[in-house]
Chains A and B, each alone.
Chain A
Amino acid sequence: MSVRPKAHTLGPKPPFWRDRAKRALLFQVLLIAAVAAFLLYIIGNTQDNLAARGITTGFGFLDRTAGFGIGQSLIEYSSQSTYGRTFVVGLLNTLLVSALGVIAATIIGFIVGIARLSPNWLIARLASGYIEIFRNIPLLLQIFFWYFAVLRAMPAARDSYSLGEVIFLNVRGLYLPEPLFESGFGLIPLTFVVAIVASIALVIWNKRRHEATGKRLPAGWISLALILGLPMLVLVATGVPVTWDVPELRGFNFRGGITIIPEFLALWLALSIYTASFIAEIVRSGIQAIPHGQTEAAQALSLPQKLVLRLVVVPQALRVIIPPLTSQYLNLIKNSSLATAIGYPDLVSVFAGTTLNQTGQAIEVISMTMAVYLIISLLVSMFMNWFNARVALVER
C-alpha cells in the first residue's frame, strides 16, 4: 500500500508549451502558416516573373490551332485540330499503351512467377534468370534497346514480311487489315451484349443452384460458347456485312488498314517485359506465402489437384498479391511516360513536349499533365482497393 503524500497544493499553472494539446495546436498552426507562406512566396514570384517577362498565361491556348501532325491517333486528328485535342490524343495513346502493357505484363508475370516455382530445375532457373536480368536494367535503356532492335531487325517497306498478302511487317510498323462495317452490322455488338448478360445470369443462377442442391452445370464453358457463338451465328445469318480494308504498298509506304507503329511496339514490349519481372516475384512470394498446411489439408479432404489450386491456394495467394500488384500497375502507367524518349506520341511526348514548346506555357501544360497522372493513379488505386476488399479475408 502506498503512503499517500500530503495533499498537493496546486502549483502555478504549467506554461502552455508543456500542455500537449496546446502544443499540438500551436505546431499545426505553425505548419499551416509555413506552408501558406511558402506557397504565397512561390505564387508571388511566379506572377512577378510572368508579368515581368510578358509571358502569356491562362488556358486560352487550348482552343488555338495546333498546326502540327501526330503519328498515331485513336481519334480524328489533323494539323488543323486544337491544342486541346492534342491533349486528348496524347492521353488516349498513354491509356492505350498502359492498358495493353498491364495485360501483357500480368500474363508474362504470372507465367514466369509460376515457372519460378516449377519442380523442373531448368525451368525454374530460366525464370529466375529472366527476373534477375530484366529487373536490374533501367527501363529507359530497355526501351532504347527494343526500339533499336525492332528497327534494325525489320526490312524496308518494299521488302516487307507479309502474311498472306494481308498482314505486313516492316521498319515502319505492323500493317493489319481494318474491318469496315456495313449497315446491318449493328446487330452483332448487340448480340454480343445479350450473350454477356445471359452468361452472367447463368453463372449467378448456377451458383445459387449449386449452393441449394449441390448440382451444377459447367457454366464457364456454356458462357464461352454463348459469348463467342451467338455473334458468330448472327454474323453468318446476316451474310457477313464486313469488308476488309487491306493495306497495300502505294508510293513510299503501305496505305489503308491499321498501322501499329514501331515506337508503340518497342514501348509496349519494354514496359511489359520490365514490369513482368516484378510481377513474377510478387506472384512467387504470394504463392510461397500460403502455408503448406493449407494444401495438405485440402488434399486430406481428397479435393482434386485442380480444385486445391482454384479453391484453396489461389484465393489466399491473391490477397497477398494484389496490393503490390497494384503498385506495379501504377508504376507501369507512370513509366509509359518514357515514350517521349523514342517519340511514341503519348501525353508527355505530345502535350508536355510539342504543345508546351509551341505555346511556351510551361505552368499550365505541366500542371495538366501531372493532374492527369494523379487522377489515373487515384482511380486505379480505388479500383484495386475495391477489388482487394472483395477478396479480403472476412473476419469478425
Chain B
Amino acid sequence: MRDNKNKWLLVTSAAVLALGTASLASANTLQNTIQRGAVQCGVSDGLPGFSAPDDQGEWQGLDVDVCRAVAAAVFGDADAVRYISLNAVERFTALQSGEVDVLSRNTTWTTTRDTTLGLNFTGVTFYDGIGFMINRDLGVSSALDLDGAAICVQSGTTTELNVADYFRANGMEFDPIVFDTSEQTVGGYEAGRCDVLTSDTSQLAALRIQLSDPDQSVILPEIISKEPLGPVVRQGDDQWFNIVKWSLFAMLNAEEMGITQENVDEMRNSDDPDIARLLGQDGNYGEGMGLDANWAYNIISQVGNYGESFERNVGMGSPLQIERGINALWTNGGIQYAPPIR
C-alpha cells in the first residue's frame, strides 16, 4: 500500500515536471516550423484569387503564394505548407495562440492591430480600398447616393468601421447587416436582404464572379478608405518576422530585376551584382535569417515573382481581372517597392 502510494507520488511529480518543462519550450518559430516540417499558414475561408481551394482541393491565390514563398525559403519546398482556414473573427487569436505561424488572409494593416494585438505586419501584398457593389437596377452611380441603404458587411473587419465613418462623415444613414462569413454576406446580398455589398474592392471583384448573375451587379467607382493588405506574424520573434518580410521582398525584387519562374536558372549565371546577391551567387544573404543562400532562388523558381503571382491569381490572367493599378512596381507608376538585397 505504502509502496503503491510512493509510486503514485513519483508518477505525479514526473507528470508535473514534464508539464513544467513543456512550458519552457522555446518560442522560436523557425525551429518549431522546421521540426514540424511545414509552415502553418492561416488563410481565408474561401476567397477566389486570394485563398481558395480549387477543384482538386489545392489552395490557390495571392495570399496562398505568400505561404508557399515562406515554405520555399525555409524548406526549399513550396508545398510544405499546412493551410488552416480562418474566418475574420478567429484569425488574430489563431495567430496569437500559435495555431498558425503566418496569417496571410487579406488582413488590413492598422495601428490598433499592429500595436495592441501582439502582431506585426510584414509588408503589403495588395494595396486595396473599400468599395461598394450594388444591383444595377437601382440606378445608383455614386456612393453618395446611398443614404438609407441597407449594407451587407462581414463581421470583425475594418470595413465595418470604415463604412460607419464614411456614412457619418457624409451625413448619411445606413442599416448594417452583419454576417460571420463572406459566404453568408454574399448570400444576404443575393437574397435582397441588403442593397449594397461592401468590402475591399479586390474582394468585391472576387465575390462578384461567385454571384449567379455577375453582370447584374456593378462596383461603384468610389474607394472610401486605404486598406493595405499583408501577411502578419506574432510579435516577439524577429527572426521569423524577417523571414516572412523578406520572402515578400524577394518576390518584389525579382519582378523588378526581371527574374521569372522560367528564366531564374539562366539568371543564376547573370553578371548583374543585384541578381547575383538575390539568387545566392554572391554571398549568403539568408544567413542572417537562419536560411541558406538559395532561399530567394527557391521562392522564385517554385512560386514565381510578385508580378507572376499577381497575374496568375487576381490579374488579367484570372477570372477576377483586376488591373495592376497602384499595385504595379514603383518603376511602372505603382507603389510596390522593396528594399534592396544588400
Listed in ascending order, the chain A residues whose CB lies under 8 Å from chain B are 17, 37, 41, 44-45, 48-50, 52-56, 67-71, 78-80, 148, 151-152, 154, 156, 171-172, 250-253, 255, 262-263, 340-343, 345, 349, 353-354, 356-360, 362
Interface residue from A45, A79, A251 paired with B149 (Cβ < 8 Å): A251
In the bound complex, do residue B156 and residue A353 qualify as a contact, i.e. CB atoms below 8 Å apart? Answer: yes
In the bound complex, do residue A171 and residue B89 qualify as a contact, i.e. CB atoms below 8 Å apart? Answer: no
Known: A79-B165, A252-B149, A343-B180. A151 touches B191 (CB 8 A): yes
In the bound complex, do residue B117 and residue A252 qualify as a contact, i.e. CB atoms below 8 Å apart? Answer: no
Known: A340-B180, A343-B179. A253 touches B150 (CB 8 A): yes
CA distance A343 to B193 in the complex (A): 12
In the bound complex, do residue A52 and residue B236 qualify as a contact, i.e. CB atoms below 8 Å apart? Answer: yes
B interface majority secondary structure: mixed
In the bound complex, do residue B195 and residue A252 qualify as a contact, i.e. CB atoms below 8 Å apart? Answer: yes
Interface residue from B27, B174, B178 paired with A349 (Cβ < 8 Å): B178
Shortest Cβ distance from residue B135 to the other chain A in the assembled complex, whole angstroms: 10
- Cβ contacts A to B, 30 pairs, < 8 Å: A45-B23, A49-B97, A52-B27, A67-B161, A69-B163, A69-B164, A70-B178, A71-B177, A71-B178, A79-B161, A80-B168, A151-B191, A171-B193, A252-B138, A252-B195, A253-B148, A253-B149, A253-B150, A253-B175, A255-B148, A263-B177, A343-B178, A343-B184, A353-B178, A354-B156, A357-B88, A357-B89, A358-B161, A359-B116, A360-B93
Q: Which 10 A-B pairs have the closest CB atoms?
A: A357-B156, A53-B118, A79-B164, A69-B176, A360-B117, A55-B118, A54-B118, A251-B148, A151-B191, A56-B116
In the bound complex, do residue B96 and residue A55 qualify as a contact, i.e. CB atoms below 8 Å apart? Answer: yes
Listed in ascending order, the chain B residues whose CB lies under 8 Å from chain A are 1, 16, 19, 23, 27, 88-89, 92-93, 96-97, 112-113, 116-118, 138, 146-150, 155-156, 160-161, 163-165, 168, 174-180, 184, 188, 191-193, 195, 234-236
Q: In the assembled complex, which residues on chain B have CB atoms less than 8 Å from the CB atom of A54?
A: 118, 235-236
Task: Output the nearest chain B residue to A352 by Cβ-Cβ distance.
Answer: B89
In the bound complex, do residue A68 and residue B193 qualify as a contact, i.e. CB atoms below 8 Å apart? Answer: no
Known: A17-B1, A55-B118. A48 touches B23 (CB 8 A): yes
Known: A17-B1, A251-B149, A360-B92. A349 touches B164 (CB 8 A): no
Q: In the assembled complex, which residues on chain B have CB atoms less than 8 Å from the CB atom of A80?
A: 168
CA distance A252 to B137 in the complex (A): 12
In the bound complex, do residue B192 and residue A171 qualify as a contact, i.e. CB atoms below 8 Å apart? Answer: yes
In the bound complex, do residue B175 and residue A67 qualify as a contact, i.e. CB atoms below 8 Å apart? Answer: no
In the bound complex, do residue A71 and residue B193 qualify as a contact, i.e. CB atoms below 8 Å apart? Answer: no
Q: In the assembled complex, which residues on chain A have CB atoms less than 8 Å from the CB atom of B180?
A: 340-341, 343, 353
Q: In the assembled complex, which residues on chain A have CB atoms less than 8 Å from the CB atom of B1?
A: 17
CA distance A337 to B118 in the complex (A): 29
Which of B16, B155, B174, B234 neighbours the largest number of chain A CB atoms within 10 Å of its CB?
B155
Interface residue from A79, A171, A358 paired with B191 (Cβ < 8 Å): A171
In the bound complex, do residue A250 and residue B148 qualify as a contact, i.e. CB atoms below 8 Å apart? Answer: yes
CA distance A217 to B236 in the complex (A): 80
In the bound complex, do residue B193 and residue A357 qualify as a contact, i.e. CB atoms below 8 Å apart? Answer: no
Q: In the assembled complex, which residues on chain B have CB atoms less than 8 Å from the CB atom of A69?
A: 160, 163-164, 174-176
CA distance A345 to B112 in the complex (A): 24
Shortest Cβ distance from residue A353 to the other chain B in the assembled complex, whole angstroms: 5
Task: Output the nearest chain A residue to B23 by Cβ-Cβ distance.
Answer: A45
Known: A52-B236, A252-B138. A68 touches B191 (CB 8 A): no
CA distance A353 to B178 in the complex (A): 10
Q: In the assembled complex, which residues on chain B have CB atoms less than 8 Å from the CB atom of A252?
A: 138, 146, 148-150, 195
CA distance A17 to B4 in the complex (A): 13
In the bound complex, do residue B160 and residue A354 qualify as a contact, i.e. CB atoms below 8 Å apart? Answer: yes
Known: A53-B118, A68-B161, A152-B191. A358 touches B150 (CB 8 A): no
Task: Output the nearest chain A residue to B175 by Cβ-Cβ distance.
Answer: A71
Which of B112, B116, B147 neighbours the largest number of chain A CB atoms within 10 Å of its CB?
B116
Shortest Cβ distance from residue B84 to the other chain A in the assembled complex, whole angstroms: 17
CA distance A37 to B15 in the complex (A): 13
Task: Output the nearest chain A residue to B138 by Cβ-Cβ distance.
Answer: A252
Shortest Cβ distance from residue A290 to the other chain B in the assembled complex, whole angstroms: 47
Q: In the assembled complex, which residues on chain B have CB atoms less than 8 Å from the CB atom of A359?
A: 116
Interface residue from A53, A250, A341 paired with B96 (Cβ < 8 Å): A53
Task: Output the nearest chain B residue to A152 by Cβ-Cβ distance.
Answer: B191
CA distance A50 to B236 in the complex (A): 11
CA distance A252 to B93 in the complex (A): 38
Shortest Cβ distance from residue A150 to the other chain B in the assembled complex, whole angstroms: 10
Q: In the assembled complex, which residues on chain A have CB atoms less than 8 Å from the CB atom of B97?
A: 49
Which of B27, B178, B184, B188 neighbours the largest number of chain A CB atoms within 10 Å of its CB?
B178
Shortest Cβ distance from residue A197 to the other chain B in the assembled complex, whole angstroms: 41
In the bound complex, do residue B116 and residue A360 qualify as a contact, i.e. CB atoms below 8 Å apart? Answer: yes
Shortest Cβ distance from residue A69 to the other chain B in the assembled complex, whole angstroms: 4
CA distance A45 to B96 in the complex (A): 13
CA distance A295 to B164 in the complex (A): 64
Known: A253-B150, A341-B180, A343-B188. A55 touches B175 (CB 8 A): no
Q: In the assembled complex, which residues on chain B have CB atoms less than 8 Å from the CB atom of A341?
A: 180
**A-B contacts besides A54-B118, A54-B235, A253-B149, 17 pairs, CB < 8 Å:** A17-B1, A37-B16, A48-B23, A56-B117, A67-B161, A69-B163, A71-B178, A80-B168, A151-B193, A156-B192, A252-B150, A253-B150, A357-B89, A357-B156, A358-B160, A359-B116, A362-B93
